[in-house]
Chains A and B, each alone.
Chain A
């Protein structure tokens, strides 16, 4: 049953009633009417900062100044960080429009005339071939290959119905999961190779590797790791090894980076799918990306752009995951899916969705949002600036915020 009654801790969007009079009103109302998103709040901070600069002595501004501590620009400040950020952002948007116009041929859409390379066609034929395997397992035939340049990094096949009904095992999602497993497999295998060459590892890493090796870590040789080449590329350097040890430790604690079968063995599915694609002749060993590609991807190298090839138009979930991944710059698909495709159903989504007998859903914002907004504001203002440049935020800030999240 729906209720419009506000519960403790909820926020209400754009329903603020604070209305100060005279010439401050415009500025404050404008600040309050910003959307309750990080961007809207950033705008609001800028407006409040401007009001503080102009009406610093007005006591009515005190509650707002307290609500937006970052907005205290000081009497001599002419611009707030939010204003400057907005200026650069608008400039960047304009530059993007210029670039889009210049690179229009790289976009793939329903419009006829999109440019398709011979490599695109080869990959599409490969994924369509792979669909046969998916179909033979009584799943909707759909498969995906992810590439970096002309090299293969991961393969996935749809298995959303069999052997288990799992909504998120579409081909694209399986390929993204496989990419993650291949990456951490590579990291672990490099540490093993480092140890085999007499390199030192922490006791914790040795303990992890012992378990992974017992689970079949080294059985997957599809990454083709070559110690001499890795040495030449600097992957056995102290800095790299330390980073890999730290990441592997975090990955195994997390537990979601490796898929295992009932006996705890690694690589059951992702390796099988990868080898199936190779056996079908879609690509050979020489076409598989070498470790440098995976390392750059894992390091979020902004120049490393992936392409995702999929036999069927991605659904909304898969399309969004491609976008969210951040390094997939191109999605190429074969058949349209007028009822489930993320692009085709944009306009008729509700009708198609309900005609398929799916449960209705709705988006509700602001529920328990009061506390969450404060916490996320703190996170984005105090922690994220460090994280985005791979610096460790002050531990005391992290611990305090983690505690606040835990107690929220």
Chain B
């Protein structure tokens, strides 16, 4: 199980990876993460160019997607072992808003295999 806490993830790791690994997104939207429990908190991941993360102190800021989970679920999420369907069924995970943004979060460092054209001429001018 991952030992990285939500605070470490949102305050330290995600901002570092955004800046170091050329994260890119076509969307322009806010995803709010709420993690309850120890080392929990509330963060906004802004999908923009470049993407950014900020800590939210109040509950009055809304986004295009809200993802709420417990700290224990957060560890499973980072490990990739979170059973989303079961967690939602049991109320340990809640998602509200534009669910397509979840996929966009996964695609920010994407390397799809089907993209086969290269705009050398266009880009070289």
Contacts and interface: CB of A to CB of B under 8 A. Distances in A.
Contacts of B122: 246, 250, 392
A84 B6 CA distance: 12
Given A78-B13, A88-B106, A94-B85, A99 B115 contact: no
A84 B102 contact: no
Contact of A302 (B8, B14, B100, B119): B100
Interface in A77-105: 77-99, 101
Given A79-B9, A91-B102, A95-B99, A388 B115 contact: yes
Contacts of A395: 123-124
Given A95-B102, A99-B99, A387 B17 contact: no
B12 to A, nearest CB: 7
Contact of A388 (B24, B83, B95, B121): B24
A266 interface: no
Contact of A91 (B82, B109, B124): B82
Given A78-B8, A398-B123, A88 B102 contact: yes
Given A78-B12, A84-B17, A393-B123, A92 B113 contact: no
Given A94-B82, A387-B115, A78 B4 contact: yes
Contacts of B103: 92, 95-96
Interface string A365-408: 00000000000000111011111111111010011001000000
B39 interface: no
Contacts of A95: 84, 95, 99, 102-103
A324 B12 CA distance: 37
B113 A37 contact: yes
Interface string B107-120: 11111111100111
B95 A84 contact: no
B124 A398 contact: yes
B71 to A, nearest CB: 15
A111 B17 CA distance: 45
A114 interface: no
Secondary structure of the A side of the interface? helix
Interface string A331-363: 000000000000000000000000000000000
B111 A381 contact: yes
A87 B78 contact: yes
Interface size range on A against B: 35 or more
B85 A98 contact: yes
B13 to A, nearest CB: 5
Nearest to B69: A91
B64 to A, nearest CB: 14
Contacts of B112: 38, 384, 388
A181 B14 CA distance: 43
Question: Could you say which of A42, A80, A87, A101 has the most chain B C-beta atoms within 10 Å of its C-beta?
Answer: A87
Contacts of B82: 90-91, 94
A407 to B, nearest CB: 14
Given A90-B80, A90-B82, A398-B118, A380 B111 contact: yes
Contact of A81 (B77, B109, B114): B109
Interface string A129-145: 00000000000000000
B26 interface: yes
Interface string B47-80: 0010000000000000000000000000001111
5 contacts: A79-B78, A80-B17, A81-B21, A388-B112, A395-B123
Instruction: Give the 9 A-B residue pairs with the shortest CB-CB distance, closest first.
Output: A94-B84, A380-B111, A88-B106, A89-B106, A90-B80, A81-B21, A88-B105, A392-B123, A92-B103
Interface of A: 37-39, 42, 70, 77-99, 101, 246, 250, 253, 302, 324, 326, 379-381, 383-393, 395, 398-399, 402
